Amino acid sequence: MPFAEDHEPRFNETIAFGPMPVEMIWIKLDTRAYRTCNRDHIRRHYHRFEDVAPLDGLVVTGAAVDTVPLSHVAFWPELATILKAANDGGTLVLGLCWGAIAVGATLGVPAVRYERKLFGVFETRLLAKGSAWKAAKSDTFWCPHSRYAGLDPIAVAAGVATGRLELIAHAAEAGDVIVATPDHRRMMHLGHPEYTAQRLVDEYERDRAAGRTNAQPPRHVDLRNPQEPWLAHRRAFFGGWLADVAALARSRECETPAVCFQSKTGL
């Protein structure tokens, strides 16, 4: 995530909805330049994956590289190695936005890129219920999106048909939103449930200042008075996912709180 030090508090608040205390460990990638981040902050507060593994939970965040193929992303080989090690070690993996695309690639699900940015807050239908969304009080929820790519819907459908994947949530305007492996150990959320309402406004102002013609104003967002109708979804989704992480920690008879790993991949 660009500007890592600015976004860490948002994740800390999000993770606070879990069922038990969580030790947050921030991970750095040797192959990242971190041009939009405070590099001294990264040096002082971030760790290499091999120095802190194994972990109970791994979150791969968004990154501003969704306009290019993975083969052109310099840090992809390193991140792919981390994802494989996490999976082999039984760590629960959650990918958000571009992080979901990265997790999907490890499952053989390619990305598709859009001519225009998928940007806004979209009503989403919950298709399946399970531990990571058990607190949901409705079959529909609102979710923010800000991306130029998604998971290939044909590949997702093929994975569902063969039992390799489960489609959890879908939006008429945003496509497949939450996809997981049947055991829910690897979960892909194409949205940004951790976002604040102001974040969408700030992104639009940034896009407009940059003169981007393929990024329109966010749909279903009042730029003068942005609201956060996805708050209930954020709490239900992350609370449920962290409950799974806590269960894994207990099954390993850990004496310390569950550990959540966040891979910050800022440009």
**Which CATH number belongs to the domain containing residue 240 in this structure?**
3.40.50.880
Using the structure block, give the residue that is written with the tokens 């608040």.
Answer: 13
What is the radius of gyration, based on Cα positions, of the chain?
17
Query: Each residue of 106-157: pLDDT tens digit?
Result: 999 999 999 999 999 999 999 986 655 655 567 899 999 999 999 999 999 9
Number of domains comprising the chain: 1
**39 or 244: whose pLDDT is higher?**
244
| Residue-level pLDDT at 63 | 85
| Residue-level pLDDT at 130 | 63
Q: What's 131's DSSP letter?
A: G
CB atoms under 10 Å from CB of 184, counted, come to 17
Q: Got the DSSP string for 165-205?
A: -EEEEEETTTEEEEEE-TTSSEEEE-S-TT--HHHHHHHHH
Full-model pTM: 0.90
Using the structure block, give the residue that is written with the tokens 């120095």.
Answer: 51
Note down the domain range covering 81: 4-263
Across 118-122, 139-143, 159-163, 214-218, least confident range? 214-218
**154 or 6: whose pLDDT is higher?**
154
37 falls in which pLDDT band (50, 70, 90)? confident
